[in-house]
């Protein structure tokens, strides 16, 4: 377990140090959400998040998300999502419509998953649109009863009229079961834009409290 955490930490640290030519912003995400069953195998999710600057701790960005998940089997599920985000004080919003298929692989204490999906973004005011294919590859350590450490790689490919990798994300964290229906997610994420003249980079420290009813 110690070796697992050390390897992932060194990987993220090496990536952030190796990209020192670009400006790196540091932010804190605070999120909370609730989920409930609407049918036997279908779940609805609602989530809200806010982003704060690490230096001044002022609200910088807001997010609201509504989703549906449908279990196809023990190892497979489908998902639909609507998300809107806006920066504090901005007169426009970014709206996202997305869908995905997630497949889990069980192997001892390590659980692997791959989530492949499509997302379509629309920006208010400017009317700018973007179409992406997004792939999330994750590994979770399932040995402990209440704490589940995980590592995740996230790659976004823009295919509308650009055809390039648009964004890369690397995350390490843990999901902690506080009560039977309450979980807390803690994570550190390195988010990097690709194929830009001046790519943005973001180091995110996040918490997310989830209630299941």
**Pairing mode, strands 94-107 and 110-123:** antiparallel
Q: What would the two tokens of residue 189 be?
A: 């994420």
* CB neighbours of residue 125 within 10 Å: 9
CA dihedral sign of residues 153, 51, 44, 37: positive
CA–CA distance, 149 with 73 (Å, rounded to integer): 24
Q: Which CATH class is domain 2-212?
A: mainly beta
Residue identified by tokens 């992932």 is: 8
The whole-number pLDDT of residue 194 equals: 82
CA–CA distance, 117 with 89 (Å, rounded to integer): 31
Hey, what long-range contacts does 118-122 have (CB within 8 A, 24 or more apart)? 119/156, 120/96, 121/94, 121/95, 121/96, 122/94, 122/95, 122/96, 122/97
Q: Where are the domains of the chain?
A: 2-212
Which residues in 75-146 belong to E strands, given as ranges? 76-87, 94-107, 110-123, 129-141
Q: What is the mean pLDDT for each group of 10 consecutive residues in the chain (213 residues)?
A: 50 48 82 95 96 86 96 95 90 92 90 96 86 95 92 92 85 95 96 82 94 94
CA–CA distance, 201 with 213 (Å, rounded to integer): 36
* CB neighbours of residue 22 within 10 Å: 12
Residue identified by tokens 């609602």 is: 46
The whole-number pLDDT of residue 30 equals: 95
Largest distance between two CA atoms of the chain = 51
The whole-number pLDDT of residue 20 equals: 44
Alpha carbon distances (Å) from 63 to 43, 134, 151: 20, 19, 23
Question: What pTM was computed for the model?
Answer: 0.84
Reduced to 3 DSSP states, what percent helix, strand and coil does the chain have, rounded to the nearest 5? 10, 70, 25
């Amino acid at each position: 377990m110690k070796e697992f955490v050390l390897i992932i930490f060194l990987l993220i640290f090496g990536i952030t140090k190796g990209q020192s030519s670009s400006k790196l912003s540091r932010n804190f995400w605070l999120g909370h959400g609730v989920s409930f069953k609407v049918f036997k195998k279908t779940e609805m999710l609602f989530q809200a998040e806010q982003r704060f600057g690490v230096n001044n701790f002022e609200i910088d960005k807001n997010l609201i998300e509504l989703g549906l998940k449908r279990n196809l089997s023990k190892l497979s599920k489908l998902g639909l999502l609507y998300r809107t985000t806006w920066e504090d004080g901005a007169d426009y919003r970014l709206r996202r419509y997305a869908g995905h298929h997630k497949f889990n692989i069980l192997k001892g204490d390590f659980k692997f998953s791959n989530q492949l999906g499509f997302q379509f973004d629309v920006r208010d005011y400017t009317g700018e649109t973007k179409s992406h294919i997004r792939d999330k590859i994750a590994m979770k350590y399932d040995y402990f009863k209440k704490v589940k450490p995980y590592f995740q790689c996230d790659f976004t490919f823009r295919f509308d009229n650009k055809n390039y990798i648009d964004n890369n994300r690397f995350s390490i964290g843990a999901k902690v079961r506080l009560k039977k229906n309450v979980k807390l997610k803690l994570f550190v994420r390195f988010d990097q834009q690709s194929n830009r003249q001046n790519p943005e980079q973001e180091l995110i420290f996040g918490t997310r409290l989830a209630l299941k009813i």
